[in-house]
Chain A
Amino acid sequence: MMHKWGMVIDLDRCSGCQACMAACHAENNIAIVGPEEAAKGRTIHWIELLPYIEGEFPHIKARLLPRPCMHCEHPACIKVCPVGATYANEEGIVGIIHSRCIGCRYCTTACPYTVRSFNWYEPRWPKEMKGSLNRDVSVRKKGVVEKCSFCHHRLLRAREKARAENRELLPDDYIPACVQACPSQAMYFGDLNDPFSKVSELSRERRAFKLLEDLGTEPKVIYLSEGM
């Protein structure tokens, strides 16, 4: 059976340390931008911690919600792209062909989860960092949209390795950088089509929910939270 990659984020375990964000930035060659533009909302994050408030006043709790791309089963972004630069592969991972993107930002507008970032400027890194760019991930140019790919390059690499070793792909072979970096074990990754995988088990939990579920997008990122 085809894999259906999915992620589970346990908000009760998440400490909001932002290690996932840092790991993602390093893994995916995300450009670095100064505080001025960051204040204007022109930073690029493939995973971002969104602040939110839970409960009714005075019983409130400030929390952070890690938000990667949801890799929806029915993504709004693919439908709207005028040039077919966004697509979903057979395993349900939603990707962007950066060389095809015309930068109209219709997908940014259509995405209910605000996961898409536009390259407002030519991406830049400090000179010292140039050598540390990840060679598995293409560097985007100014004027195109980008977003989380579930570290798809890691999957390709894991597949190659498994093939070279003449074995099936094992659950631990393919893990995105954010999940790998999480120190509180709040993030899980795996095959949602495998009923016995960790993510499948967690997705059936009582605490499980998806973001903006009523839009019918069917996200493949599942959150766990006890609530207040």
Chain B
Amino acid sequence: MKPIRETLRETWHFYRQTLTLVTHGSKIYYAWCLSLLAIMVVGFLFYWKQHEMGLIETNMTDQVSWGLYIANFTYLVGMAAAAVLLVIPSYIYQFKPIKEIVVLGELFAASSIIMAILFVMVDLGRLDRVWHMIPFIGSMNFPTSLLAWDVIVLNGYLLLNLFIPIYLLVKFYYRREPNWKFILPFILLSIPWAVGIHTVTAFLYNGLAARPFWNASILAPRFLASAFCSGPAIIIIIFQIIRKVSSIHLEDKALFKIAELIAYAMFLNLFLLGAEIFKEYYSNTVHIASFKYLFEGLHHHNALVPWIWAAMAMNVTAFFLFLIPPTRKRLSTLNLGCLLIIVGVWIEKGPGFVIPGFVPDPLGEIHEYVPNLVELMVSFGIWATGFFIFTLLMKVALPIETGEFSHIEYEKGVITRKTLEATASLYKIKK
């Protein structure tokens, strides 16, 4: 009986503490969470309308059959991949604290994957049949369909990125050294898997002979290069927030090193894009049509032209900001560069990548696409959901990592001392 009671008591302690942690915070924390919740509710209401009426509520057509949702999906897969790939430089350059960086990166990856999966779900015409894609239960067309591959690798990646941080956090919670022999293979596996999810997502587009804009073998490398820009850029910002709100100390040096790596990745990204542009414009075959639509407009259809040039300007500016040491090593210009990259890569790889694939269609018809309010609100809702999940995960994970929130055993001793400690740790977090 005793062990069961102990376990129950411990579970109760964990849940109560978790609940206390997520419901207590500064005014900014409350404002942030409440506004995210508000956006989520609005997004859900718009989605409900779309679900009831059908995808007619969006601006997608048979000619442009994927729009803002799939654009966001593509971008977020990159985010998820890059967050984990950050583990490599953290090991090489011995960023401190490495354990925290691993846990943070993997939880960020998990949140991004949840967003990516949600974006696919809202794009489906029949959400009720999503189980058709589940292996063994449904009728998954594996290994022929790249979308089936994507379902497997994305969900596998999600599980991996939940399993590793949960394992580490549980160990931290019990104040035990993680069994590195056991968990390191999983961490190492998550690195090629990160490359894998983005490659599979690139192949999803790449394999379509009917869409010359996507049917370029340079696509997967381009995807990885751009992911290596946007993912670390958002991580730099998150690092700065985390060191402000918690006692985790992250050195500036690590941020600057990541920014330097972004500069290299951005160079590669721009180079690969340049290589594609050269090939298209020099050979000047009919396949150039989508590039023309994107960069200069095609037969007076030029909805994307200002966007892509804005993205180009942002990417190039950020590249120079991160390349030149003085601007890289100043937090204000560093953060500006990060913002430019997050937005610039989103345009380039989201709408700037998905939409031109459809314009003109393979038979040469031009149908333009601009997302409408429903698509925008649903997208905002999903982004808010992801940020909300990540915020809550961080709110619990950070105190565990710093040791402020741990197993009841370590708050044992005299009963009064335990209570005192618990209250003390609570106060610390409240601050």
Interface pair A82/B133, CB less than 8 Å apart = yes
Q: Which residues of A contact B393 (CB under 8 A)?
A: none
User: Does A122 contact B208, Cβ atoms closer than 8 Å?
Assistant: no
Q: Contacts of A23 on B, CB cut-off 8 Å?
A: none
CB nearest to A120 among chain B residues: B56
A45 to B255, CA, bound (A): 55
Which residues from chain B contact A103 at a C-beta distance below 8 Å?
55, 124-126, 129
A149 at the interface (CB under 8 A from B): no
Complex contacts, B239 vs chain A, CB 8 Å: none
What is the interface of chain B mostly: helix, strand, loop, or mixed?
A: loop
A52's nearest neighbour on chain B, judged by CB, is B364
Assuming the A-B contacts A101-B126, A103-B125, A105-B125, are A76 and B140 also in contact, with contact meaning beta carbons closer than 8 angstroms in the complex? no
Q: How far is the CA of A40 from the CA of B62 in the complex (A)?
A: 9
Contact A122 B209 (CB under 8 A): no
Question: In the assembly, what is the distance between CA of A215 and CA of B287, in Å?
Answer: 13
- For residue A121, which residues in chain B have a CB less than 8 angstroms away from its CB? 53-54, 56
Which of A109-117, A178-186, A198-206 forms part of the interface with chain B? Answer: A109-117
Contact with B along A81-92 (1 / 0, CB 8 A): 111110000000
Chain A residues with Cβ below 8 Å from B209 are 76, 112, 215-217
Decide if B62 touches A114 in the complex (CB within 8 Å).
yes
Chain A residue numbers with a CB within 8 Å of B133 are: 82-83, 102
B62 touches A116 (CB 8 A): yes
Q: Does A50 contact B (CB under 8 A)?
A: yes
- State whether the Cβ of A58 lies closer than 8 Å to any Cβ in chain B: no
B296 at the interface (CB under 8 A from A): no
| A143 on the B face (CB < 8 A) | yes
Contact present for B132 and A100 (CB under 8 Å): yes
Q: How far is the CB of B350 from chain A (nearest CB, A)?
A: 16
**In the complex, chain A residues whose CB is within 8 Å of the CB of B295:** none
Which of A104, A109, A119 has a CB less than 8 Å from the CB of B54? A119
Give B65 Cβ to nearest chain A Cβ, in Å.
4
Residue numbers in A under 8 Å from B59 (CB-CB) = 40
* Residues of chain B within 8 A of A82, CB atoms compared: 132-133, 140-141, 145, 147-148, 151
Which of A41, A105, A114 contacts B66 (CB under 8 A)? Answer: A105
- Give B204's nearest chain A residue, CB to CB: A106
Closest to B64 in A: A41
Compute how far the CA of A117 lies from the CA of B145 in the bound complex, rounded to whole angstroms. Answer: 20
Q: Tell me if B61 and A42 are in contact (CB < 8 A).
A: yes
| Segment 209-236 of B: residues with Cβ below 8 Å from A | 209-211
- Closest A residue to B144 by beta carbon equals A79
Residue B283 at the chain A interface, CB threshold 8 Å: no
B1 at the A interface (CB under 8 A): no
Q: Mark B37-57, 1 if CB is under 8 A from A, else 0.
A: 000000000000000011110
Q: Max chain A CB contacts within 10 Å: which of B60, B66, B140, B363?
A: B363
Chain B residues touching A, range: 35 or more
Q: Which residue of B lies closest to A101 (CB)?
A: B126
How far does the Cβ of A55 sit from chain B's closest Cβ, in whole Å? 15
Q: Which residue of A lies closest to B149 (CB)?
A: A82
Chain A residues with CB below 8 A from B125, complex form: 101-105, 118-119, 142-145
Q: Which residues of B contact A128 (CB under 8 A)?
A: none
Given A76-B209, A82-B147, is A102 in contact with B126 using a C-beta cutoff of 8 Å? yes
Contact partners of A105 in chain B: CB under 8 A: 65-66, 123, 125
Interface mask (B142-160 → A, CB under 8 Å = 1, otherwise 0) = 0011111001000000000
Does chain A have a CB within 8 A of B365?
yes
A104 with B124: in contact, given A122-B54, A143-B54, A212-B362 (CB under 8 Å)? yes
A159 CB → nearest B CB, Å: 27
Q: Do A108 and B151 have beta carbons less than 8 Å apart?
A: no
Return the chain A residue nearest B132 by Cβ: A83
- Tell yes or no: A37 within 8 A of B by CB: yes
Chain A 138-178: CB-based contact to B (< 8 A → 1; otherwise 0): 00011111000000000000000000000000000000000
A133 CB–B CB distance under 8 Å = no
Contact pick for A114, options B54, B126, B130, B365, CB 8 Å: B365
Cβ-defined partner of A83 (8 Å) among B56, B66, B141, B146: B141
Whether B367 and A41, one on each chain, are in contact in the complex, defined by CB atoms closer than 8 angstroms, is yes
The answer to the question of B63 belonging to the interface, with a C-beta cut-off of 8 Å to chain A, is yes
Assess whether B146 is in contact with A80, with CB atoms less than 8 Å apart.
yes
* A12-67, CB < 8 A from B: 37, 40-42, 50, 52, 67
Further 20 A-B residue pairs, CB within 8 A, beyond A102-B124, A118-B55? A79-B145, A80-B144, A80-B147, A81-B145, A82-B147, A101-B126, A101-B129, A103-B124, A103-B125, A109-B358, A111-B210, A118-B125, A119-B125, A120-B54, A121-B54, A143-B54, A144-B126, A212-B210, A212-B362, A215-B209
Q: 8 interchain pairs (CB within 8 A)?
A: A82-B132, A83-B133, A101-B129, A102-B129, A103-B129, A108-B65, A114-B363, A211-B363
The 10 closest A-B pairs by CB, nearest first: A103-B125, A143-B125, A112-B210, A82-B147, A41-B61, A120-B56, A83-B132, A105-B65, A121-B56, A142-B54
